[in-house]
Amino acid sequence: MSSFPPVSPGSVRTRFAPSPTGFIHLGNIRSALFPWAFARGQRGIFILRIEDTDTERSTPEAVQAILGAMEWLGLDYDEGPYYQMQRMERYRAVIAQMVERGLAYRCYTMPAELDAMRAAQMSRGEKPRYDGRWRPGPALALPPPAGVAPVIRFKNPLAGTVRWDDGVKGPIAIDNAELDDLVIARSDGTPTYNFCVVVDDLDMQITHVIRGDDHVNNTPRQINIIRALGAEPPVYAHLPTVLTPEGEKLSKRHGARSVLQYRDDGYLPEAVVNYLARLGWSHGDDEVFSRDEFIAWFNLAGLSSAPGRFDADKLRWVNHEHIKRLPDDELGRRLLPYLERTGIDPQSGPSAGRVAVLFRDRVSTLVEMAEAARYFYVTPHAPADVLATHLTDASRPALVALHAQFADLCWTRDAIGTAIKANAAHHGLKPGQVMMPLRVLVAGSAQTPAIDAVLALLGRVPARERLAAGLDIDH
Ligand code: GLU
């Protein structure tokens, strides 16, 4: 693993620089997590930059999805969002300066010429590349052709090697002979992608670029431009791609869902952050950790160079663990919108916090919890076959008696539990023979948390009403 010069606290500046094209899935947002955690842990600055220069593919909806996903996950930024489309003048100014200073030059090669150049190179078994025919120098004898709008190319060094010590991949070296002169402005004057990234990373004084390894090929070109501009490159750390369980790159086509879909499906943001963090980074054997622990523990050395595989079951498990850990009131507060979404009026039953405590060990998502808790708010209807299975001629008299006993029982979980057991013994039944029909009558299902706890929380009046209705006796 690479080592880096120590960074002085407070001087770190990182960024997340998404392109707002298509939709943002867990694999994309994971690239925000590490620069965010690094900046937070180092008391540095985290910047959001929207790379929207691909005007054909960028959409306002995608920008909103990015902002919404970051807000939901609590990935707060100190600067931005900056939008590259609002920085065009700055890019043009730097391009003009570079041409003036001889760092970049006008190239009049026509597309057809480029095609011919590449075809010839390939037929000689060479890698296709721009041959530098408009590169300024003694050999350039060509006068600019009339009526051709030139592109601007960066004058890449011809010799030497670009090296950097990648925070994930270790030392990387690329010979300049491998790199041709990159187009930094198109013939209509618009700057190209790699160039905008360089200007932004310099202007925003980024110290650590932590991004997906699909950009590793851009890095030597970006470093050369940065050095030509008289600056030192930041530290680069390239994160391996997130793969599907089958080993495909995670994408919409391969089943990836949008980040906010996980919110709608009842996942906790801290669980998603935890799961995604573990998908490319480790801290010993720790699997479940809080946002604060992640920030405190995060360092570049813990980043893995092996691609992580998205595992939906593991995410569910991590979510379950975080549900178990939330304080009661907080869990209830989180549950509320999910109850409301199912059409329930949370005022019509016990507090969401007390309900959540009953279910926290039994469900993996807040959607499951809201569904499981429904009978606290709405009178359930037990399926006839389930009722018939549990409410038998043997158990019926016990339940009728219990309904009467409940009228003046001290309404606590302990007292209810004791009364049920005594009632069963009195009727010569096993406790389960009373508890199961009780569950079905009160909750509409034979699967509930401990029935004494359910009854205590539901309340005497609704409990007796439901029993009376199910047993067809007078309330
Ligand atoms: N806009 C690029 C992307 O969405 C990221 C560029 C960078 O981080 O340098 O993949």
**Residues within 6 Å of ligand 1 by CB:** 17-19, 51, 197, 211-212, 215
Average pLDDT over residues 331-360: 96
Residue type, 465: E
**With 80 as the cut, is the pLDDT of residue 324 above it?**
yes
Q: Whose CA is nearest to atom 6 of ligand 1?
A: 17
- Mutate which of 50, 196, 202, 211 for ligand 1? The one with the most ligand atoms within 8 Å of its CB, which is 211
Catalytic residue among 169, 252, 314, 430: 252
- Mutate which of 215, 216, 219, 241 for ligand 1? The one with the most ligand atoms within 8 Å of its CB, which is 215
Q: Cα angle vertex 325, ends 322, 326, to 5°?
A: 90
pLDDT tens readout for residues 63-98: 999 999 999 999 999 999 999 999 999 999 999 999
290 within 8 A of 270, measured Cβ to Cβ: yes
**With 60 as the cut, is the pLDDT of residue 9 above it?**
no
Ligand 1 centre and the CA of 128: distance in Å? Answer: 25
Q: What is the model's pLDDT at position 5?
A: 42
Average pLDDT over residues 2-20: 74
Ligand 1 centre and the CA of 207: distance in Å? Answer: 16
**With 60 as the cut, is the pLDDT of residue 206 above it?**
yes
**With 90 as the cut, is the pLDDT of residue 253 above it?**
no
pLDDT tens readout for residues 370-387: 999 999 999 999 999 999
**With 80 as the cut, is the pLDDT of residue 2 above it?**
no
Q: What is the model's pLDDT at position 1?
A: 31
Q: What is the model's pLDDT at position 200?
A: 97
Ligand 1 centre and the CA of 4: distance in Å? Answer: 23
Q: What is the model's pLDDT at position 23?
A: 87
Which ligand 1 atom minimizes the distance to the CA of 15?
8
- Mutate which of 23, 30, 51, 203 for ligand 1? The one with the most ligand atoms within 8 Å of its CB, which is 51
Ligand 1 centre and the CA of 71: distance in Å? Answer: 19
Verify whether residue 252 is a known catalytic residue: yes
What residue ranges define each of the domains in the chain, with the CATH number in brackets? 13-84+193-243 (3.40.50.620), 90-185 (3.90.800.10), 259-376 (1.10.1160.10), 384-471 (1.10.10.350)
pLDDT tens readout for residues 94-105: 999 999 999 999
pLDDT tens readout for residues 423-463: 999 999 999 999 999 999 999 999 999 999 999 999 999 99
CA distance 320 to 75: 22
Can you say whether residue 80 is alpha, beta or left, with left for phi > 0 and alpha for psi between -120 and 50 degrees?
A: left
